[in-house]
Amino acid sequence: MLTRLAPSLAMLLLAGPILLGLTGTLLPAFGYLPALGGMHPTGEYLARLLQEPAIFHSALMSFAAGLITAAVSLTVVMLFVGGWAGTRLFSRVLHLVSPLLSVPHAAAAFGLAFLVAPSGMIARFISPELTGWTRPPDVLILHDAMGLTMMAGLVIKEIPFLFLVTLAALPQIRLAETRALAASLGYGRVAGFLFGLWPQLYPQIRLAVFAVVAFSSSVVDVATILGPTSPAPLAVRLLGWMNDPDLSMRYLASAGAMLQLIVTAAALGAWTLVERICAALRDSFAAAGKRLRRDHAIRIAAFAAMTLSATVVIAGLGTLAVWSVAGLWQFPHALPKDFTLKSWIAAGPRILSPLTTTLVVAFFSTLLAVALTLLCLAREDEKGRKVRRGTMLLFYLPLLVPQAAFLFGLQLFFILTNSAASIVALVFAHFIFVMPYVFLSLSDPWRAFDRRYDAIAAGLGKGAWVRLLRVRLPMLTRAILTAAAVGFAVSIGQYLPTVLIGAGRLTTITSEAVALASGGNRRVIGVYAFLQMVLPALGFLVATLVPALLFRRFRAMRV
């Protein structure tokens, strides 16, 4: 009964808010918002939007950020997997990169900012010896007008994501055999991979790549921390209008959200064009029999790019940690003169409430997502195993529609029902983004479970619930807790849902941290961003330790 309802419930809880939210954004965009007295449809706000200064510049930047971030991250991942899959170095890099998936975007962005700013760690390390700088140089690195630093901040987070998604798809292709075959025909490693395997691999990760395009073209937190300011990318400006004390600005914000929807759709459309061009190029190279035998440089470059991106995140997080305990730290010293817990003690009392909200919301949204995922997967078993494309699309939907486009409307809905800024509404809003990741990370191990165990238990006379609780769930403990840790990390990283649905009254570590960005107090930012990074890590620690302790006597239950 419960399992039969689960898929419909998932559909309702994921697609429902998106449709409701889109409607709630669309109507005010055309002037219809009875709560504020807007009764008649009008094109006035769309016209006003188009007259906003540099609005096309903002839109173009968002569009470009989506395409460039996806192109760069995917290229690095593709060439690295092609050049190194199956080597020992590959698994080393995997261990380096995979934990980075859990780092919230904002924390990674702060880390990058602390590294590359004119007074950042890199400048300190090379000054004054190499540069002669005794004070930070006056160059615009953060918030550069082209948005390069912002895109870099996105790339270092999207690389681990695409890398892990690609890895999950790898077992479904015949890597070793195809490589041997391609090599016997005289093709280099990378060429063999691109011609022989990538065409099979790409369709399986395509939705994830789309998610990267959509996210990067509509991101708010990373853009606030690293992005250009005059003008800012579209989504950042939208949020500004949304938070304007003048309520009539909501019309403009909603009209802007519609533009955001168009920009993201255009970026996705352009991406499919890029796909076609690249495929045609690949096919013509393959047809011409280009062997690319000397691909050493490509392989080294891909490895370097991969390691560099991971190193940047790790070094950035380290810098954040140091800043949070830094005493006096003058430029160009590489380390603070003294260390102090003053920043932590000062922030302590103020952190307690956002910290509680963060944990409560992350816990419950994850719990809900894990429970619903398990029920959906159990239902899939009952019906016979067929993963329909439609199901996958449903789970990717919240990652493909720009957040602003439906969260504005959803916020309106919560305000109208008097439930904005309630924990329940916030849990629910986070759930929309947690669920896809939990489902994606749990479905593979669930489907890989040997169903003969289930048949045996049934043959022993055990009913469905006993089988689930005594056999399947215990055997999948590690996978379930890992999926939960992923969900927990996703919830902790959420910025826009927190700001909009929390309506400024419920704040989390992430929303507080991003709010501190403009203030530029590095010690306080260090404290918040450090917490942002530690909380997901704690989740993964629990996911590793608990099964290890529970099953310490059972050898086959170890990894």
Partner 1 sequence: MAQKGLELQSVTIALEGRVLVALSRSVAPGDVLTLMGPSGSGKSSLLAYIGGFLDPVFSASGKVMIGGCDLTNLPTEDRHAGILFQDPLLFPHMTVGGNLAFAIPASIKGREERRNRVEEALEGVGLAGLAGRDPATLSGGQKARVALARVLLSSPRMLLLDEPFSRLDTELRQQVRELVFAKARDSRLPVVLVTHDEDDAAAAGGDVVRVGSQ
**Which region, judged by CB under 8 A, interacts with partner 1, from 153-161, 243-251, 430-438, 549-557?**
549-557
Q: Measure the CA angle with vertex 280, ends 278 and 282; round to 5°.
A: 70
Cβ nearer to partner 1, comparing 279 with 460:
460
Residue 456 touches partner 1, criterion: CB under 8 A: yes
Cβ nearer to partner 1, comparing 243 with 477:
477
Residue 294 touches partner 1, criterion: CB under 8 A: no
Closest CA to 183 of 81, 175, 229: 175
DSSP state of 548: H
Residue 378 touches partner 1, criterion: CB under 8 A: no
Residue 159 contacts residue 153 (beta carbons within 8 Å): no
| Helix pair angle (88-97, 296-324), 10° resolution | 30
Residue 554 touches partner 1, criterion: CB under 8 A: yes
Residue 559 touches partner 1, criterion: CB under 8 A: no
**Which region, judged by CB under 8 A, interacts with partner 1, from 155-163, 458-466, 493-501, 508-516?**
458-466
Cβ nearer to partner 1, comparing 389 with 465:
465
Residue 460 touches partner 1, criterion: CB under 8 A: yes
Torsions phi, psi of 339, nearest 5?
-115, 145
DSSP state of 470: I
Helix (H, G, I), strand (E, B) or coil at 232: coil
Site string for partner 1, 464-493 (x = CB under 8 A): x--x--xx--xx-x----------------
CA–CA gap between residue 528 and residue 475 (Å, rounded): 37
Q: List, in sequence order, the alpha helices (H) in 417-495.
A: 423-448, 451-459, 464-466, 473-475, 477-493
Cβ nearer to partner 1, comparing 479 with 490:
479
Contact with partner 1 (CB under 8 A) among 206, 282, 290, 462: 462
**Which region, judged by CB under 8 A, interacts with partner 1, from 215-223, 401-409, 449-457, 537-545?**
449-457
**Which region, judged by CB under 8 A, interacts with partner 1, from 184-192, 330-338, 350-358, 459-467?**
459-467
DSSP state of 38: B
Cβ neighbours for 525, distance < 8 A, ≥ 6 positions apart = 110, 320, 323, 513, 516, 517, 519
Contact with partner 1 (CB under 8 A) among 37, 53, 384, 390: 384
Contact with partner 1 (CB under 8 A) among 37, 203, 390, 463: 463
Cβ nearer to partner 1, comparing 418 with 554:
554
CA–CA gap between residue 20 and residue 428 (Å, rounded): 14
CA–CA gap between residue 259 and residue 257 (Å, rounded): 5
Positive or negative CA dihedral for 173, 77, 167, 367? negative
Least distance (Å) between residue 385 CB and partner 1: 8
Binding residues for partner 1, per CB under 8 A?
382-385, 450-464, 467, 470-471, 474-475, 477, 551, 553-557
